[in-house]
Homo-oligomer: A and B are copies of this chain.
């Protein structure tokens, strides 16, 4: 029997939670913890695609590049993304291989360096808003604005930071390989950090851009295109809430996609946190997806048996 397919998305903070600074030994421990969860999903009969964020990791890398700028030329953000796809992919892949070995499960794990195409006309390019990397002094910020044409923003008295656009993902490369690998039962780690952002330029060629692609949107796109049966989004709360942070806060256990859209329209889910997750869930369901589970790492096992988490489903799914 053909396995079902699950896509799981989680943030880079799953491997590097605040207030830690990113000791390698800690990141490896967190990768091992994540790997145990992944194997739990596999043992429930799913083939698995893993999409991880890279916020804290690429932040650290940008600091490293800035600090050493007098000795080594720094890379742009797309290449830094590629580097974290390598480091985080390797840490996760190794941890998953080891969990498989402990359980005597025979399955191959693959980490794909993944480019994600964004539209060069995406309106996000007109209003960069996503802060990345180190804080700069006003003096250095002015220099970088002039010399490198960076957009920079003052951040609440802590200094100046570079801001980049956050365009929507429209295609994933290599797509067919990714689909084939999933279909053949491999555990696939792909599109780390939301993917390496590239545009197709005026000459029809791939060109890296300095941008951040939200990993929730990229994972929704991949879940839709691989026709994943289950789309799991890990976050730092066990459930989605209505009236979050107010006295009338109420957890949502189940929510048909139409209700999700209504609550979205009522601005129940703030942009930059739950908003993109609900939006990715809606896009996935409306693109033919079956079921979305939004929960925290510690509640995932319970959520897999409908005892926690928020389940979002389409009109054809039973509740």
Interface residue ranges, A against B (CB under 8 Å): 21-24, 60, 63-68, 71-76, 78-79, 82-87, 89-91, 93-94, 97-98, 101-102, 108-113, 115, 173-177, 180-181, 184, 186, 196, 198, 204-206, 208
- A85-B90, A90-B113 provided; 4 other pairs, C-beta below 8 A? A63-B68, A64-B71, A82-B86, A112-B113
Picked from B72, B102, B205, the residue with its CB within 8 Å of the CB of A22 is: B72
Q: Point out which of A83, A97, A109, A173 has the most chain B C-beta atoms below 10 A from its C-beta.
A: A83
Report whether B79 and A24 are in contact in the complex, using a CB–CB cutoff of 8 Å.
yes
A86 and B113 in contact, given A24-B76, A68-B68 (Cβ under 8 angstroms): yes
User: Which residues of B are found within 8 Å of A83, using beta-carbon distances?
Assistant: 83-84, 86-87
C-alpha spacing A175/B108, complex, angstroms: 9
Report whether A205 and B98 are in contact in the complex, using a CB–CB cutoff of 8 Å.
yes
User: Which residues of B are found within 8 Å of A90, using beta-carbon distances?
Assistant: 78-79, 82, 85, 113, 115, 196, 208
C-alpha spacing A175/B86, complex, angstroms: 18
User: Which residues of B are found within 8 Å of A184, using beta-carbon distances?
Assistant: 180
User: Which residues of B are found within 8 Å of A108, using beta-carbon distances?
Assistant: 174-177
C-alpha spacing A273/B90, complex, angstroms: 29
User: Which residues of B are found within 8 Å of A79, using beta-carbon distances?
Assistant: 24, 87, 90-91
Minimum distance in angstroms from A148 CB to a CB of chain B: 12
Report whether B82 and A71 are in contact in the complex, using a CB–CB cutoff of 8 Å.
no
Closest to A188 in B: B177
Nearest 7 pairs of A and B residues by beta carbon: A86-B86, A67-B68, A82-B90, A111-B113, A83-B83, A82-B86, A64-B68
**20 cross-chain CB contacts under 8 A:** A21-B72, A21-B73, A23-B73, A24-B73, A24-B76, A64-B71, A64-B72, A67-B67, A78-B90, A82-B87, A85-B113, A90-B208, A94-B206, A102-B205, A108-B174, A110-B112, A110-B174, A113-B113, A177-B181, A180-B184
User: Which residues of B are found within 8 Å of A76, using beta-carbon distances?
Assistant: 24
Report whether B94 and A115 are in contact in the complex, using a CB–CB cutoff of 8 Å.
yes
Minimum distance in angstroms from A64 CB to a CB of chain B: 4
Report whether B208 and A94 are in contact in the complex, using a CB–CB cutoff of 8 Å.
yes
C-alpha spacing A175/B73, complex, angstroms: 35
C-alpha spacing A92/B177, complex, angstroms: 17
Closest to A113 in B: B111
